[in-house]
Amino acid sequence: MGTQESLMAASRLFVRHGTHFAAAVEVHPDHADQVRMSFGDALSDFEVVDVSRGGIGLRSSVFFPKNLRVILTVTGSSASGAPLGRSLVIRAVVRRCTLQDHKPHYFVGLQFVDAAGRDEQQLVRLSADPAGEKAAAPIGGGDDA
């Protein structure tokens, strides 16, 4: 019988691309009455650590409950130094939140609400292309579905 990690890897739909972007998170207005964040400053210190066509892996010091809808504002540049050019607004749903160590430090798995969205596709394109050349081009229609 395989390990849990090998079972999880076998069930993945999309390839993950390691990356490093800064992000800010806010609770989607649909869930704002259900979840209230106590420390507003804590919601601007996140790191996007991987991206796939289906979603994002996020490093966080804040626990997020499963199925919470969030809005991420992603900023910065790719590992190769290619700038985003503008902030990307990503709508996503929390699918898992696991404690990595006791600092606290969580890994949050997010699924895109609209994987065909312009900002979502630009983030995937930039993360998948290590040179960042494709991401710098203007984005037209969604031909990367």
pLDDT in tens, 52-75: 999 999 999 888 999 999 999 998
Which one has a higher pLDDT value, 132 or 108? 108
What does the radius of gyration of the chain's CA atoms come to, in whole angstroms? 15
In this structure, is residue 138 part of a structural domain? no
In this structure, is residue 111 part of a structural domain? yes
In this structure, is residue 9 part of a structural domain? no
- Nearest-CA neighbor of 65 among 103, 30, 27? 27
Average pLDDT over residues 14-34: 80
18: domain CATH number is 2.40.10.220
- Answer for the pair 53, 16: CB distance below 8 angstroms, yes or no: no
- Structural domain total, the chain: 1
The pLDDT, as a whole number, for residue 78 is 60
Range of the domain at 33: 14-130
- Rounded Cα distance, 43 and 37, in Å: 8
The structure's pTM equals 0.72
Tokens coding 20: 């490093």
